[in-house]
Amino acid sequence: MTPVSALLIFVALILYILGQLFLKHAMEDDLGSARFKKNFAVGLSTMTVSFFITLGLLQHFELSYLYPFQGLSVVIISLLAAAILREKLTPRLFIGAALISAGVVLVSLS
């Protein structure tokens, strides 16, 4: 893995996490409101950029190696959803999320 590909993997991950949070926030809103449109547009844009970066990375790495990097997003998204969107994060949900992230990291290290 070169510094460029590491940076691209990182940027794709951050944009993807932001996209999920903005989309979730948007979908809880009144679908006709201006606030929905703004949040939805931001979420869709960051996800689209993340998608094309990932597509470029796929030309250089095996799918089963590359894709699981996004698994780190599980713990991050669960924590941010609880902190920012004020969702309930029970210990059980957090343990589940942590196991998923750990599993995904194990997959990407092998």
Site of interaction with other proteins (CB under 8 A): 4, 8, 20-21, 23-24, 27-28, 51-60, 62-64, 67-68, 71, 73-74, 77-78, 81-82, 85, 87-89, 92-93, 95-110
**How far apart are CB 107 and other proteins at their closest, in Å?**
3
User: Cβ of 109: how many Cβ atoms within 10 Å?
Assistant: 8
Least spacing, CB of residue 73 vs other proteins, in Å: 8
Q: How far is the CB of 87 from other proteins (least distance, A)?
A: 5
How far is Cα 100 from Cα 67, in angstroms, rounded to an integer?
14
